[in-house]
């Protein structure tokens, strides 16, 4: 995708970010979900813009969202909004417009900007990481996990199951459920690209999936469950390099109990015992790879913490404690909006860091965009050299005495 004509001076930064989401895509999804049926003013596009504004500016209430839009009413036409919605309008839309529209929009934007990119490491397997995070709710709208309190009450909870594209540090597939649902439910809807590398913790161990992934040449790495049953078929020698790295054992095994093959298939695997030199803890890893060195298996599993940093990033950057509605649909919409905000920032993050010698951190870039979201600057040149662009803007203002050009467009 070319950015040459996408980011230009005559529109605020927020409007330029919205151009990463084609209007035609939004229209197709709105038609598919019939999300604009019987709607006269507050369309799916308007709803998306309002929820992205809420996410970028971290609005904690409907009042804060609406007053923020009102404060920028003269700029709304650049965002595709003809007027400022009322609080009741946004509240009703969060109840009535299906969250599935936002879910499919997220995945469509991801595929548009990342699936079309050439593989940066064509000789290596593409790595994906599976994990989930729980978002606590103040009421039992979505059933939470755990036991009830003595008064019979229990807080609700939403769970986001994520397949992380490790190369781009972006969720490539997300499913949101009630937090009471087991993590293994996520695997039913999961499609992994053939010839990939998959990393996950013990909660996602499923022998049937192991057999399926083996057929697709998918390499998987996980940790052993405490109650795992296996039979040792071979003991591999450990060289000095592996011993120095902390490898204690490397065995070929068969997972599963003999005699239970009908219900639980037998799975060939490797069992690697590893001691972390920093903490002194012992870890046992399982993998289907016969070519990876044992210390490489340990290093790959360590990369699973990348998804924990993603969860921390989203929860810190976007408000997922205070929701604009008290229905399950409204909660789902706000979670999808936060994920979409993060996705858009990551698209810009990757693009800018390709051009910039001094790389941005995600936190600094997201903060810079938040502070200048309604400023009329060319986004990519501004982020490539913010000091230079702001100095040019000040010089232009001092020379002209105004921020308007001859056509009335703001700089």
Residues 227-264: pLDDT tens digits?
A: 899 999 999 999 999 999 999 999 999 998 777 767 77
> pLDDT band at 397, cuts 50/70/90?
low
pLDDT of 293: 96
Length of the chain counted residue by residue:
411
- Cα–Cα distance, 290 to 282 (Å, whole number): 22
Q: Does residue 386 surpass a pLDDT of 90?
A: no
Taking only the tens place, the pLDDT of each residue in 1-42 is 444 444 444 788 999 999 999 999 999 999 999 999 988 889
**Of 23, 42, 24, 130, the residue nearest 84 (C-alpha):** 42
Taking only the tens place, the pLDDT of each residue in 303-320 is 999 999 999 999 888 878
Question: Helices (DSSP H) in 72-194: which residue ranges?
Answer: 87-96, 99-110, 185-188
- Sign of the Cα torsion 130, 136, 139, 140 reads positive
- Cα–Cα distance, 157 to 137 (Å, whole number): 5
- Cα–Cα distance, 192 to 187 (Å, whole number): 10
> pLDDT band at 150, cuts 50/70/90?
very low
- Cα–Cα distance, 273 to 285 (Å, whole number): 7
Question: Helices (DSSP H) in 73-221: which residue ranges?
Answer: 87-96, 99-110, 185-188, 207-215
- Which residue's entry shows tokens 């913790």? 201
Q: What does the angle CA 159 – CA 165 – CA 170 come to, to the nearest 5 degrees?
A: 65
Give me 137's structure tokens: 């709710």
- Cα–Cα distance, 24 to 26 (Å, whole number): 5
- Which residue's entry shows tokens 């990551």? 346
Q: Are 236 and 250 in contact (CB under 8 A)?
A: yes
3-state helix, strand, coil in the chain (%, to 5): 45, 15, 40
Q: Does residue 151 surpass a pLDDT of 60?
A: no
pTM of the model: 0.86
pLDDT of 142: 64
Average pLDDT of 65-90? 86
Give me 150's structure tokens: 């003595």
């Amino acid at each position: 995708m070319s950015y040459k004509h996408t980011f230009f001076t005559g529109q605020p930064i927020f409007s330029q970010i919205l151009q990463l989401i084609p209007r035609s895509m939004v229209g197709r999804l709105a038609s598919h979900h019939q999300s604009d049926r019987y709607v006269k003013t507050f369309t799916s596009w308007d709803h998306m813009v309002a929820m992205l504004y809420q996410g970028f500016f971290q609005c904690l209430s409907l009042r804060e969202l609406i007053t923020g839009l009102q404060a920028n009413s003269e700029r709304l036409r650049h965002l595709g909004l003809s007027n400022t919605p009322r609080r009741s309008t946004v509240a009703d839309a969060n109840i009535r417009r299906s969250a599935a529209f936002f879910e499919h929009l997220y995945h469509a934007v991801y595929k548009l900007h990342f699936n079309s990119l050439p593989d940066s490491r064509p000789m290596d397997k593409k790595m994906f990481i599976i994990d989930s995070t729980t978002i606590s709710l103040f009421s039992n709208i979505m059933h939470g996990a755990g036991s009830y309190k003595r008064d019979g009450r229990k807080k609700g909870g939403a769970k986001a199951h994520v397949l992380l594209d490790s190369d781009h540090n972006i969720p490539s597939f997300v499913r949101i459920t009630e937090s009471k649902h087991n993590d293994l439910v996520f695997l039913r809807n999961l499609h992994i690209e053939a010839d990939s590398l998959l990393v996950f913790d013990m909660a996602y161990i499923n022998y049937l999936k192991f057999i399926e992934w083996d057929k697709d040449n998918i390499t998987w790495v996980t940790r052993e469950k405490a109650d795992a049953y296996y039979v040792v078929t071979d003991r591999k020698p450990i060289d000095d390099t592996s011993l120095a790295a902390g490898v204690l054992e490397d065995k070929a095994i068969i997972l599963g109990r003999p005699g239970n093959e009908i219900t639980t298939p037998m799975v060939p695997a490797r069992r690697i015992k590893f001691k972390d030199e920093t903490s002194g803890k012992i870890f046992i890893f399982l993998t289907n790879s016969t070519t990876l060195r044992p210390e490489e298996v340990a290093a790959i599993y360590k990369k699973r913490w990348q998804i924990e940093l993603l969860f921390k990033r989203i929860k810190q950057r976007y408000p997922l404690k205070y929701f604009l509605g008290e229905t399950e649909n409204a909660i789902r919409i706000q979670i999808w909006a936060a994920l979409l905000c993060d996705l858009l920032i990551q698209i810009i993050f990757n693009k800018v860091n390709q051009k910039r010698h001094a790389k941005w951190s995600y936190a600094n870039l997201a903060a810079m965009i938040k502070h200048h979201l309604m400023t009329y600057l060319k986004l990519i040149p501004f982020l490539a050299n913010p000091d230079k662009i702001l100095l040019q803007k000040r010089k232009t203002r001092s020379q002209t005495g105004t921020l308007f050009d001859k056509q009335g467009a703001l700089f």
